Amino acid sequence: MPARKQSSGTVPPGPEHTRTGLSAETLRQAFLDNLFYIQGRFPEIATDDDRYQALSYTVRDRLLHRWVRTIQAYKERDPRTVCYLSAEYLPGPHLANNLLSLGIVDATREALRGLGLDLDAILDHEEEPGLGNGGLGRLAACFMDSLATLEIPAIGYGIRYEYGIFDQKIQDGWQVETSDTWLHYGNPWEVRRPGICYDVRIGGRTEHVTDEHGRLRVHWRHADLFRGVAYDTPVAGYGVETVNLLRLWRAEAAEDFDFTVFNQGDYVGAVMRKVRSETISKVLYPNDEADSGKRLRLLQQYFFVSCSLQDMLRIFATTGRPLAEFHAKFAAQLNDTHPTIAVAELMRLLVDEHGLDWDEAWQATRHTFAYTNHTLLPEALEKWPLPLFADVLPRHLEIVYEINRRFLDDMRLRYPDDPARIARLSIIDETPPKYVRMAHLASVGGHAINGVAALHTRLLGTTVLKDFHDIWPDKFQNKTNGVTPRRFLMLANPGLADLLTEALGDGWTRDLERLRGLEGLADDPAFQDRWRQAKLIRKAALAERLRAGQGNAIDPASLFDIQAKRIHEYKRQHLNLLHVVTLYNRLKHAPDADVPARTVLFGGKAAPGYAMAKLIIKLINAVAEVVNRDPDMRDRLKVVFVPDYNVKVAQSVYPAADLSEQISTAGMEASGTGNMKFSLNGALTIGTLDGANVEIREAVGPDNFFLFGLDADEAVRTRAAGYRPYALYERDPELRAAVDLIAGGHFAHGDAGLFRPLVDHLLGRDDYLLLADYRAYVDCQDRVADAWRDPARWTRMAILNVARMGRFSSDRAIAEYCRDIWNVAPARVDG
Ligand code: Z16
C-alpha cells in the first residue's frame, strides 16, 4: 500500500498506514486495533455492537484524512460555498455508504472474512439517524451526497435531534409510537466540536438608543440564553477526494448562565433550568406537513438558524473580506420555510451586531438566500401567530415589520389602487391574532424561489405564490428533485448494479444519463433473463426479511405491488385498498378466476396526531388479516404492512418492487422521490399526473407507464362543479361492493363503527377524489395484470424505465442548482 503524501503535514505521526491504508490486510489490522483500543475487546468476546463500532472507526479514520485535506483546499482557494439550511436530514445508515464512497466494500468484506466475520451482519447493526420525516429530509441527504460527489464546497446545517422520528410498532393493527434512541450506543460518525459553539438569545424586549455618533442602535435585552454546540459528520463524495461537512447543532445551557443573579441561591432550580435548555434539540416534530403554532418548534428553527449564520460569519471573518460581500462567499438555501427566520436573523446580525447600514445588509441578505418550496397544501404553509412570534423573537418582529414596510411601499407604487393585492402580498396576515407568513418572508428575502417538479412549480406560480409570480416572474425556477444512484442503486441493489456495469461500464454511477445505453438491450432475451434473475433475488430477500420479522410467507414469484411513503389522505393509500378489496370481491365471486398472483405491500408512518392516517393503517392491517387467511385467496392475493418504514427498510423495498404505486390526487404531491427510486430499480409505475410522475412518464415513454385518473386541472374543476362522491358510489357496483364491505364491518370482526369516519368522509366529502378516480384506477390495474402475464413485455418496459431515468439523479438536480441559483463551481481536492 503506497503511503499517502506527508507533505501537507496533516497526517499525524505514528503507524500511518493503519489509519489510512485501504488494503484488506490494513483494514483487518485497523479493525482489530480499534476493537481493542476503542471498545476494549478482543474478537472472542466482542458483541455485534463492538464489531460495528470498530469497523465504523476504521472507516472514519480514512474519511478524516480526506476531510482535513478538503478543509485545507477550501481555505486556500476561498471558493463560494453552499450552505444548505434544513431542519431535517435522513441520511440512512452511514457505514455501507462510506465503504462505497471510499471504494473499499470488497476489501472490507475480505478483511472480515479473514476473521470469520460477515460484513452484512455488521452493517445490519447500525441504527440510522432518523432526523427527518420523509421526502424533504431524504432529499437533503441526497443533495449532500451529490454536492460532495460533484466536488462542490458545501456545508449542511441542521439540528442534532436526540430523538429522531419515532419507531413504529404495529399492535392489533394499530400504529404505536416508541421513542427513537439512535444515540444509545454512541455515534461513531460524529465529531463533537465544543469549541464551535454560539450563544442564542430569545425573548425579552428591545431598547432603541442613539449612540455617541448619533446613530440609532438597538439593544436586545433578552430573557433567555442558550448555547448551540456543533456536531460534525463527514459526507464523502463517491469516487472523489472531497469530504464535505454536515454540521448539526445540539442545544445546551450557556456556560455564563448567572446562578446568583437569576436564581438567588436556588442552586438546584438553576441546574434544572440548564437541563431545560437541552429540550430545544431534544426531539424531531413528527409531522410531515407543518405544525405551526408550537413554541418549541419556532425555538428549534431559530436556534439552528442563528447558530448556522453565526458560524458562517465566523468562517467569513477568516477570509478578511468586507462584510458587505458576505453573499459573494455564501449561497444559502432555505429548505422549505422551516429555516426562513434566517432572513431576519442575518439582517439582525449584520445591522445590530456588525453595524452595517440597512441597505447594505439587505443587499447581502437578498443575494445570499434562495427558497425551495415543497408543498402547496394550504395547511402546510407555515405562519406564526404574532403574539407568539413577538414573545420569542421581539427584535426579529421589528425587523420583519421593517422589511415588510419597505416592500409594501414599493408595491403601493406599483399597484396604487389595489389594497386587496397589497394585503395578499404582505408578510403579515392581518386576520386576528395576525400571523407572520414565512413563505412570504422567504420570497421577499431571497433572490430565487423554486418548486421541486415542473407541475409543482407551475402551480406555485399560479396559486399560492401567484402574487409574487406577478411581480417577480424571473425569480421563479423549477428544480425537479432527484435521488442518489449511489445509495438507491449501488448499495440497495448490488445485483442490478453489477448487471448495469457489465453492460455499460461503470460510468453510469457518476453520470446516470449513461443508463440510456440499456435501450438496445431491452428486447435481448438473455439480458432479460438476467434482469429477471436480479429482480427475483431482491424479491426473495425482502420475502425472507418479512418472514423472519413477522412470519408473513409471501411468494417471490407473485407481482410485488408496493406503496411505501408517509401515510396521508392525499397520497391515497386507501384508494389502493379499495382496489385490493375489489380484487378480493372478484375472487370471492369467482374463486377459479385466472388472475395473476399479487402481493400488495404497504409501508409508512402516520403523524401521531393524524387520526385518519392512523385509521388507514388499521384498515390496511384489517384487510390483510382477512385476505391472508381466506383459503379462496391462497396464492393469488396477499396484503402486507411493512412496519417501521425508514431509509434502511426502503433500501430493501425499492429493489423488490414490480409495481410502484404513485397515486396521489393530481396537484397535491409536490414531487415525490420514492417514485424515482422505484423506477430506477426497474419497477413500473401506476400513477396519476402529479408531481414528478409527469416528468417520469415523459422520460420513460407513455407506453412504459400506467397512467390513470384526473389531471390537476380536472381535479380543480371537479371540485368546483359540486363534486358528489355519493352519486359515484351508487353508480358503480364494484365500488359500492368494496365500500359496503368496509362499512359493514367485514374487516372489523363485524364492528360497523370502526371504519365509519373513513367511509363517511369518502361518501360525504371525499376531499381527495378517491371515488372520482376509482374506476380509472381499477381498470388501469387490470391493464397492469395483463402486462404482467407477458414477462418479455414486462421486462422490456422495466429495462426501458431504468434506461431513461438518468435525468432523475440528484447529481443533475444539484448541477442545476449550482448553475441557476447558487452560482458555484467545483473546487477539486487532490488525492
Ligand atoms: C416533506 O417531506 C415534503 C413536503 C413538505 O412540505 C414537508 C415535508 Cl416534511 C415532501 C413533499 O411532500 C414531496 O412531494 C417532495 O418530493 C419532498 O418533500 C421533497 O421535495
pLDDT at 14 over 50: no
User: Which atom of ligand 1 is nearest the CA belonging to 132?
Assistant: 9
pLDDT digits (tens, 9 = 90+) for 142-166: 999 999 999 999 999 999 999 999 9
Is the peptide bond between 494 and the residue preceding it cis, with omega within 30 degrees of 0? no
183-187, 523-527, 544-548, 620-624: range with lowest mean pLDDT: 544-548
Whole-angstrom Cα distance, residue 89 to residue 136? 8
Cell of 552: 408473513
Whole-angstrom Cα distance, residue 111 to residue 513? 34
Task: Show contacts of 68-77: CB within 8 Å, 24+ apart.
Answer: 68/10, 69/8, 69/10, 69/241, 69/829, 69/830, 70/241, 70/242, 70/243, 70/244, 70/829, 71/245, 72/8, 72/10, 73/827, 73/828, 73/829, 73/830, 74/153, 74/827, 75/318, 77/827
Rounded to an integer, the average pLDDT of 560-585 is 98
Query: Sorting pLDDT into bands at 50, 70 and 90, what band is 10?
Result: low
Residue located via cell numbers 440609532: 216
CATH topology of domain 78-92+128-480+816-822: Rossmann fold (3.40.50)
**Is residue 135 in contact with ligand 1, taking CB distance under 6 Å?**
yes
pLDDT digits (tens, 9 = 90+) for 39-73: 999 999 999 999 999 999 999 999 999 999 999 99
Q: By the 8 A CB rule, do 44 and 21 touch?
A: no
The pLDDT, as a whole number, for residue 600 is: 98
Query: Sorting pLDDT into bands at 50, 70 and 90, what band is 6?
Result: very low
Rounded to an integer, the average pLDDT of 810-820 is 98
Residue 35 sits at the vertex; the CA angle it makes with 34 and 40, to the nearest 5 degrees, is: 110
pLDDT at 2 over 70: no
Q: Residue 129 region, left (φ>0) first, then alpha (ψ -120 to 50), else beta?
A: beta
Cell of 56: 465504523
The pLDDT, as a whole number, for residue 258 is: 56
The pLDDT, as a whole number, for residue 263 is: 55
- Judged by DSSP in three states, 785 sits in helix
The pLDDT, as a whole number, for residue 18 is: 77
**Is residue 382 in contact with ligand 1, taking CB distance under 6 Å?**
no
Q: Whose CA is nearest to atom 3 of ligand 1?
A: 136
Ligand 1 centre from 576 Cα, in Å? 21
User: Which atom of ligand 1 is nearest the CA belonging to 138?
Assistant: 19
The pLDDT, as a whole number, for residue 7 is: 41
Whole-angstrom Cα distance, residue 258 to residue 266? 11
Query: Sorting pLDDT into bands at 50, 70 and 90, what band is 631?
Result: very high
**Is residue 446 in contact with ligand 1, taking CB distance under 6 Å?**
no
The pLDDT, as a whole number, for residue 262 is: 54
**Is residue 451 in contact with ligand 1, taking CB distance under 6 Å?**
no
The pLDDT, as a whole number, for residue 637 is: 97
pLDDT at 249 over 50: yes
The pTM score is 0.97
**Is residue 691 in contact with ligand 1, taking CB distance under 6 Å?**
yes
Pocket test for ligand 1, best of 138, 374, 570 (most atoms within 8 A of CB): 374
Query: Sorting pLDDT into bands at 50, 70 and 90, what band is 257?
Result: low
Which residues are within 8 A (CB) of 603 and not within 5 positions of it... i.e. 6 or more apart? 562, 563, 564, 565, 641, 642, 643, 645, 649, 650, 653
77-86, 179-188, 257-266, 789-798: range with lowest mean pLDDT: 257-266
pLDDT digits (tens, 9 = 90+) for 456-465: 999 999 999 9
CATH number of 495-808: 3.40.50.2000
Whole-angstrom Cα distance, residue 674 to residue 161? 24
The pLDDT, as a whole number, for residue 269 is: 78
Q: By the 8 A CB rule, do 268 and 241 touch?
A: no
Rounded to an integer, the average pLDDT of 687-694 is 98
Cell of 119: 460484513
Rounded to an integer, the average pLDDT of 685-698 is 98
Ligand 1 centre from 669 Cα, in Å? 8
Rounded to an integer, the average pLDDT of 649-677 is 98
Rounded to an integer, the average pLDDT of 629-639 is 93
**Is residue 151 in contact with ligand 1, taking CB distance under 6 Å?**
no
Ligand 1 centre from 289 Cα, in Å? 8
The pLDDT, as a whole number, for residue 379 is: 81
- DSSP annotation of 479 reads -
Ligand 1 centre from 336 Cα, in Å? 9
CA 624 to chain CA centroid, nearest Å: 29
Cell of 5: 503524501
Query: Sorting pLDDT into bands at 50, 70 and 90, what band is 4?
Result: very low
526-530, 548-552, 738-742: range with lowest mean pLDDT: 548-552
Query: Sorting pLDDT into bands at 50, 70 and 90, what band is 20?
Result: confident
Pocket test for ligand 1, best of 287, 375, 376 (most atoms within 8 A of CB): 375
Domain edges within the chain = 78-92+128-480+816-822, 495-808
The pLDDT, as a whole number, for residue 3 is: 39
**Is residue 141 in contact with ligand 1, taking CB distance under 6 Å?**
no
Query: Sorting pLDDT into bands at 50, 70 and 90, what band is 809?
Result: very high
User: 244 vs 104, 291, 827, CA distance in Å?
Assistant: 19, 31, 11
User: Which atom of ligand 1 is nearest the CA belonging to 566?
Assistant: 2
- Residues serving a catalytic function are 374, 565-566, 571, 673, 677
pLDDT digits (tens, 9 = 90+) for 174-213: 999 999 999 999 999 999 999 999 999 999 999 999 988 8
| ipTM of predicted assembly, 2 dp | 0.99
**Is residue 650 in contact with ligand 1, taking CB distance under 6 Å?**
no
- Equal fold, 78-92+128-480+816-822 vs 495-808: yes
pLDDT at 521 over 50: yes
Ligand 1 centre from 638 Cα, in Å? 30
Whole-angstrom Cα distance, residue 345 to residue 342? 5
Cell of 530: 438476467
pLDDT at 265 over 80: no
pLDDT at 1 over 50: no
Percent of the chain's residues with pLDDT above 70 = 97
Q: By the 8 A CB rule, do 659 and 562 touch?
A: yes
The pLDDT, as a whole number, for residue 213 is: 87
**Is residue 251 in contact with ligand 1, taking CB distance under 6 Å?**
no
pLDDT at 829 over 80: yes
pLDDT digits (tens, 9 = 90+) for 746-772: 999 999 999 999 999 999 999 999 999
11-20, 229-238, 313-322, 538-547: range with lowest mean pLDDT: 11-20
Cell of 66: 480526506
- DSSP annotation of 332 reads E
pLDDT at 716 over 50: yes
User: Which atom of ligand 1 is nearest the CA belonging to 380?
Assistant: 6
User: Which atom of ligand 1 is nearest the CA belonging to 137?
Assistant: 2
pLDDT at 582 over 50: yes
**Is residue 142 in contact with ligand 1, taking CB distance under 6 Å?**
no
User: 761 vs 147, 288, 612, 667, 767, CA distance in Å?
Assistant: 44, 22, 10, 20, 8
- Helical H runs in 232-351? 259-263, 267-277, 295-317, 326-329, 342-348
Report the amino acid identity of residue 537: I
**Is residue 134 in contact with ligand 1, taking CB distance under 6 Å?**
yes
When the pLDDT of each residue in the chain is averaged and rounded to a whole number, the result is 95
Task: Show contacts of 20-23: CB within 8 Å, 24+ apart.
Answer: 20/61, 20/62, 20/65, 22/62, 22/102, 22/103, 22/104, 22/107, 23/107
Q: At what angle do helices 756-764 and 611-628 cross, to 10 degrees?
A: 110
- DSSP annotation of 264 reads T
Q: Which helix (H) or strand (E) holds 194?
A: strand 191-202
Q: Whose CA is nearest to atom 16 of ligand 1?
A: 672
Q: Which of 270, 263, 271, 254 is nearest to 200 (CA)?
A: 254
